[in-house]
Structure 1
């Protein structure tokens, strides 16, 4: 008979032995219920280990229970939000080193994925299109295993009368045979395979166009927007509403302008102000100290004539700084009604 020594460490035990100790700790009734859910091969291995353990120290019990709770928590985090989400929460709860160990153990034991995992990862609209033709009971069962917010997105797209039927079935499901779940899961995976094989990635759109236009020269940008105004006026208006240009710096709050100017290279600022309107130049000067303004004016005079392409490049560098600070929440770019401020 094997004897689990008091000084043994949980990390030195293999997975089957840990499972055996965990079963012993839970007691015969609970362990019997768990055993019913295991594959035959695991039942044999765990049973063999249980039969060959005649003593389990309190220390080992506590370590294995703690490990089980940590791994259960980690697995739930992964299912809810993915591996990065799990790492973030586990780092806060357990510390970086222990969090890494738990994630590594989960990867090593390769636990069976939660039912309908493919549905949890699927695009909501694609999944809705697939489920619209399914029976309410099937849809309800699948939604029970999905993230609540994603399940809600799908449920609202069904006709009102079917929404109620699905909701009622979700509320009355208490248990389902693993065999039934497995059978439905295989059917859904088979039907969804066509979506996976032909999966498309969201690309393009106004935001993509704006990102590109913010990286091209000002002359090119103006030409494209002017042409869009003739051929696609609605698109042109949408682009202009989101497109931030160097001249739009006057729309920033005073404090935000000063943050930007602290981040901007002095040589770029000197070059960017060549040929701009007096109004824009004065606006920049108003956000600098008197000494900085004097230095800037001297540098501009010393610079002399500059190529338009060089000026546009310098302006674009400043726009890039502004957009970066906006994304970081350091400054605020007004974008029409969508970003209205509530006092």
Structure 2
């Protein structure tokens, strides 16, 4: 597999994965709803990619940022920093050097810097598959702005087609590009693309995202592909899964979570979750927690979800450090 075989959105997903789960989670939290759905779909379908392809994708990302420098300041510096953080300074320098003699044009480059409203007008009346193919080649933030211009019904159809896109031959891409070029009176170059699959990278990112982002991704996928959403949920650790942890694991988690956060997280929680936590606290700590819960009064759901997300992130951190292990299929978990 080469970089030329990946769509623009798949490349964005690959860049996110190369950034690392924590950094990628932070980026996802800054994206809009449509952008999250687009990138999410590609992350779920991305399998192992060889090192050469990864380097090619990062090089292409750098080229795109470099071309955008005249339009949006800071693009080149950001891309350079991303390369250094991903590959290290020495490797990044090699990549940047190769960029001087390698230039590759995207198939829908004439739309890269077009106003989102103009692109919406251009694509209006086109088949949803055509819209999906075009958006898959654009920068996530640009595609997001364009997607927002369509009706909710069209957004759902297009998002699903992007998620399930199996691939498009160079001839198909070229034909679509030529047709749009006639409408937009701009130049175009075709490029081969191919789609791949897998959900684990997305699960890792969602598990480190905030509650709002997690909810947005899962709700979006549920409306587009319930089976895929269920598959992801089965692999995720959510707040209710605290009941699966051993008592010693619960005790480690409680030491790392502030009482105020825990009290908020337990508002409206199932009795099984509440009992699991209370059983693993000292009598004094239990009394303090119950008093704080009662003192909170009504709490906004968004705040409860945010608190639960913090608890889950603590659990994931303990798992990464090998201090606890999480069971996802009814297996026994234990503390190292």
TM range (shorter): 0.3 to 0.5
Could you say which structure has the greater relative contact order, defined with CA pairs below 8 angstroms and 6 or more residues apart?
A: 2
User: TM-score of the superposition, structure 2-length normalised?
Assistant: 0.38
Report the TM-score when normalising by structure 1.
0.37
